[in-house]
Chains A and B, each alone.
Chain A
Amino acid sequence: MAAETPEGIVLELHPAGLPARFYAFILDWIIRLVIMYAIAMIAGILGGVGVAFWLILLFALEWFYPIVFELGRSGATPGKKTFGLKVVMDNGLPVTPAASFARNLLRVADFLPFGYGIAVVSMLLRQDCKRLGDIAAATLVVHEPHAAPRVTLEKIEPIAPVRSLAPRDQAALVALAARAPTLTGERLNELAALAAAVSGDQGRSGNAVTHRVLGVAQWLMGRRS
């Protein structure tokens, strides 16, 4: 999913799948349950008036809990926030009050026939993983982006490539270098062997070759010895 801004850049939106949203929902449900019990205890002490308050709060909690949090600064209920999710409009902007009202009150339709049946089917069928409320309100539940690891290969000497490289190849090498810390040695050697031509090691593989290939990546990043 992507949304284009008026500045002509494309913002990447990563729709959240069913499991993430399910966990967030369960957490929110537990939080609401705890609040209800807490208020019920206070209401029990206060008696009649307290119970009336409790009933109104129960209603408010049931329907307005998600709306209040979605319109807040983080754009997510505590449950969603814990799992790194966020509600935004289709165009990547913060959710508007009208849309938040619509998507949360349309829960009733999503709930049918029981246990959010329609919502689950809709989320599984759609690429953007929207439930009916999201479709009608033009909202999207997305993963908050988190930072990719920096390329940290300070120990490796930069080496100039032995041949000129197209931008795509340069990008591929730098991406490999960024992934290097997360790969096993064997896999890294395999991948580096594919790119061995850049350091004049075509057809060979091994730790030394990998070292030289990563050195070229260092050089492409702009480091010079």
Chain B
Amino acid sequence: MTPLHFEELYQGEWQELEGLLDQLLRRKKTTSAPVQGDRVAVLYRRACEHLALARARSYPAYLLDQLERLTADAHQVIYQRREFGLTKVRYFLNVDFPRTVRANAGYVWLSAALLYVPTMVIGWLVYVRPELILSVVDASTAASFEQMYSDSATAIGREAQGDLVMFGFYIRNNISVAFQCFAGGLFVGIGSMFYLIYNGALFGAVAGYLTERGHGPTFYAFVVTHSAFELTAIVLSGAAGLKIGHALVVPGRMSRMQSLVEATRNCAPIVAGSAIMLLVAAAIEAFWSSAAWLPHAVKYAVAAGCWIGVLSYLTFQGRSAN
């Protein structure tokens, strides 16, 4: 069979498949009837046979190309996994995310320890000896922190309405910390550990310093609400990073690459969940935490609700679902 004969014989089927794919991929605007799934599958298998034949017979490149593109497109359409839609999102939030967190509880506890132990140790040290703050941040930064949380500030946590760039910098910096803790896992987990400890120490230093200076009430009222989401998200991202690092160091019976890919896939729900939590944290930080007119009692009450909510969500949600 010559290439032209072959093409003539099967061109009809290829064109039909291409039309159906165009419709499915919405490459062209069509108003025809809904696509018959089984017809696509049949035509796809036929096209696969034709491609195999065309390759075996060394048909000209344009024919092979046409068939390759056709089968590649159809392959994508047929084997794609539908992971979108509200049902998927709901399942993710109701079951997948909290379950994956619990399945990796060991990493989560380790990550929490790496973040909070330095926070407390450095916090206490700086509280006792405030001059130690200078070994963590320089003098002007320390002064600006003090300025930000002083009672006279119109909006807490930001220097002045004009200096919004700094505020933006802090929000983005805090949030990027979480992703750094995750990505650091690629360096056999050392990056994650470093970022967790470093940021824990930084938080501790700032908190200890401001407490010692008497700005404690303003500072804690500011951070306590969004930290329920932000710190937890950092801990979770760090846990995902530690898992990846562990998979690289101890791959078990898999190759290191396989082990890495497997671990990344397994902890993807944790990372996606913590990204959502960070968005929530950013919104709270921008709209709620920085509002100076709210009484502290209200902020603490809401914060308690947030902390209890987040922790019990991660502990109890999705236990009974099948």
- Could you list which residues of chain A lie within 8 angstroms of chain B, going by C-beta atoms? 5, 7-9, 11-12, 48-49, 51-56, 58-60, 62-64, 71, 73, 88, 92-94, 96-99, 101-102, 105-110, 132, 135-138, 145, 147-151, 167-168, 170-171, 174-175, 177-178, 220-223
Contact = CB atoms under 8 A, between A and B. Distances in A.
Interface in B67-122: 68-69, 71-72, 75-76, 79-81, 83-84
B186 A222 contact: no
B3 A221 contact: yes
Contacts of A108: 176, 179-180, 182-184
8 A-B pairs with least C-beta separation: A222-B2, A222-B4, A171-B58, A98-B268, A108-B183, A52-B286, A109-B183, A7-B48
B275 A93 contact: no
B191 A151 contact: no
Contacts of A221: 2-4, 60
Contacts of B76: 88, 92-94
A48 B69 CA distance: 52
B282 A56 contact: yes
A11 B71 contact: yes
Contacts of B271: 101-102, 105
Given A8-B48, A132-B186, A101 B62 contact: no
A123 to B, nearest CB: 15
B73 to A, nearest CB: 10
A11 B72 contact: yes
Contacts of B171: 55, 59
B134 interface: no
Interface string B37-53: 00000001100100110
Contacts of A96: 81, 83
A127 to B, nearest CB: 14
Contacts of B287: 49, 52
Contacts of B239: none
A59 B279 CA distance: 8
Contacts of B322: none
A106 B282 contact: no
B123 interface: no
B283 interface: yes
A107 B179 CA distance: 9
A150 B62 contact: yes
Interface string B121-151: 0000000000000000000000000000000
A59 B58 contact: no
22 contacts: A5-B48, A5-B71, A7-B71, A9-B48, A55-B168, A55-B171, A55-B172, A55-B286, A59-B175, A59-B279, A92-B75, A93-B79, A94-B76, A102-B265, A106-B186, A109-B183, A135-B257, A145-B65, A145-B68, A151-B60, A171-B59, A178-B60
Nearest to A167: B58
B268 A102 contact: yes
Interface in B228-278: 244, 257, 260-261, 264-265, 268-269, 271-272, 275, 278
Nearest to B4: A222
B62 A62 contact: no
Contact of A171 (B60, B183, B244): B60
B248 to A, nearest CB: 9
Contact-residue size bin, chain B (C-beta under 8 Å from the other chain): 35 or more
B29 interface: no
Given A9-B51, A102-B271, A56 B283 contact: yes
B101 to A, nearest CB: 15
A94 B83 CA distance: 11
Interface in B158-185: 161, 164, 167-168, 171-172, 175-176, 179-180, 182-184
Given A9-B51, A99-B265, A105 B182 contact: yes
Given A92-B75, A145-B65, A222-B2, A98 B272 contact: yes
Given A5-B79, A93-B75, 18 more contacts: A7-B45, A7-B48, A8-B52, A52-B287, A55-B172, A56-B283, A92-B75, A105-B271, A105-B275, A106-B182, A108-B176, A136-B264, A148-B62, A149-B62, A167-B58, A174-B3, A177-B60, A178-B62
